[in-house]
């Protein structure tokens, strides 16, 4: 392990936890239309327009406000944060014989399934189902980032 790897791992954990917390707390911060919390909420809603469609019917609403990202994106970010916590705090080392790209593609299958369902039936899956379908993508991203920092050369380790 390289000498900067523990720092990178802690910085990644801090970043995914902060981002997931901001995604969830932004609607509450938007309640008071003045001050720093409102400025952060305003920045979050605007920044998230670059990464998410933010359609109200496909987003969770908290505190009477729409979240800054859709349910699927919420699942991705929460999945990334929870996986980072589990891998780092529990000191788990999860290895796979499958290539990382295969695992990443497999993680997209739940979300892809909800898209195919929507396109073929015209029904929109529930926000909870869409969020759950996003969790594997976030989990795999955290796993890939944290695994790649274990060797220090940027390549995920293989079993």
Segment 104-138, tens digit of pLDDT: 999 999 999 999 999 999 999 999 999 999 999 99
Q: What is the DSSP letter of 98?
A: S
Structure tokens belonging to residue 130? 């869409």
* Segments of 10-131 assigned E as strands: 61-62, 65-66
The model's pTM is 0.85
- Domain-by-domain residue ranges, the chain? 5-151
Are 78 and 60 in contact, with CB atoms under 8 Å apart?
A: no
In DSSP notation, 128-140 reads HHHHHHHHHHHHH
What average pLDDT does the segment 2-24 reach? 87
Instruction: Write down the pLDDT at residue 159.
Output: 38
Residue 50 CB coordination number (10 Å) = 6
Residue 79 CB coordination number (10 Å) = 24
Q: Rounded to whole angstroms, how far apart are CA atoms 29 and 49? A: 17
What average pLDDT does the segment 31-43 reach? 91
- Percentage of the chain beyond pLDDT 90 is 70
Instruction: Write down the pLDDT at residue 3.
Output: 54
pLDDT tier for residue 158 given thresholds of 50, 70 and 90: very low
**Total residue length of the chain:** 159
What SS3 state is found at 97? coil
Q: Rounded to whole angstroms, how far apart are CA atoms 7 and 88? A: 12
Give residue-wise pLDDT tens across range 57-88. Answer: 999 999 999 999 999 999 999 999 999 999 88
Cα–chain center distance at 128: 15
């Amino acid at each position: 392990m390289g000498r900067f790897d523990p720092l990178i791992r802690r910085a990644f954990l801090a970043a995914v936890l902060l981002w997931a917390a901001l995604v969830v707390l932004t609607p509450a911060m938007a309640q008071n239309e003045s001050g720093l919390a409102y400025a952060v909420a305003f920045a979050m809603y605007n920044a998230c327009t670059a990464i998410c469609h933010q359609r109200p019917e496909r987003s969770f609403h908290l505190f009477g406000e729409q979240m800054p990202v859709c349910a699927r994106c919420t699942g991705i970010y929460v999945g990334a944060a929870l996986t980072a916590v589990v891998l780092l705090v529990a000191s788990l080392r999860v290895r796979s014989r499958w290539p990382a790209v295969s695992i990443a593609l497999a993680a997209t299958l739940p979300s892809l399934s909800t898209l195919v369902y929507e396109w073929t039936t015209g029904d929109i899956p529930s926000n909870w189902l869409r969020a759950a379908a996003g969790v594997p993508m976030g989990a795999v991203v955290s796993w890939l980032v944290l695994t790649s920092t274990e060797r220090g050369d940027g390549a995920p380790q293989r079993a």
